[in-house]
Amino acid sequence: MTTIDLNADLGEGFGRWTLGDDDALLDVVTSANVACGFHAGDPAGLLRVVDAAHRRGVVVGAHVSYRDLVGFGRRYVEASHDELVADVVWQVGALTGLSRAVGASVRYLKPHGALYSVVADADGRGTVHAGAVIEAVLRVDPSLPVVGLAGSAFLRRAEREGLHVVAEAFADRAYDATGALVPRSRPGAVLHDAGEIRDRVLQLVETGTVRAVDGTVVELRADTVCVHGDSPDAVAIAVGVRSALEEARVDLRPFVTVPQAASTVPAPATPHAPGATTR
């Protein structure tokens, strides 16, 4: 039986502003790329997301970004190597703390937005930033898998440096003939037709290929498929993709071991009165 992981970007609201339906998507996906506060996400909202994911047995990953809250992490940031290492370490640490508060843990790392696209070109424009992301993972936890664009130089470099890599494809993004994602600034870069998306994912999972915008059939071997959660029809698309995969007898499971879900959220410690001593 063919096996695939289904992931989505979650926790991308901020305060009173919400984006997507995290709870509905958590009933569909097997892995959750959770924002870490740099492109989206506030502490209270992120705590709710990691708790909801953990209760459902959905694996939590750190969705790290450039420091670009206003631009939703979709703008390039001219960060130095050392600055980006620290930014990534900070984000993983923040999500790790929130996850531990509900009995969960961060099980992988995936760059977001512009950072994802830049580091994919690890042999070119993204050399410095790809190295920074890899160094950050090596410093935090060398056993932490990293998710990146299938076939990218980033994954090849990360693997050479001893990291466990996870190749990703996108259900709702267009590809060019080289296997790269069509930039969001171009027409047709993001797909919206549920039937087309469903058929593309089935072709990808069953044959390891995807049709590019020029009609070329591109070989694309992936361990996980991303369904974006920030479009109005995201839930319907995700449900359709999952249903089609199940009908095709594809086994949906995370690419890492599912942690045991907590039955309840740990109760907060009782605060001590001012001046009281602890033992």
Backbone angles phi, psi at 217, to 5 degrees: -90, 120
Does residue 72 carry a pLDDT above 50? yes
Q: Return the pLDDT at 185.
A: 86
pLDDT tens-digit readout, 8-45? 999 999 998 888 899 999 999 999 999 999 999 999 99
Q: Return the pLDDT at 260.
A: 53
pLDDT: which is higher, 269 or 100: 100
Distance, CA of 118 to CA of 73 (rounded, Å)? 12
Residues in Cβ contact with 175 at an 8 Å cutoff, skipping those fewer than 6 apart: 181, 182, 210, 211, 212, 213, 218, 220
Does residue 270 carry a pLDDT above 50? no
Distance, CA of 159 to CA of 156 (rounded, Å)? 5
pTM: 0.90
Distance, CA of 105 to CA of 173 (rounded, Å)? 29
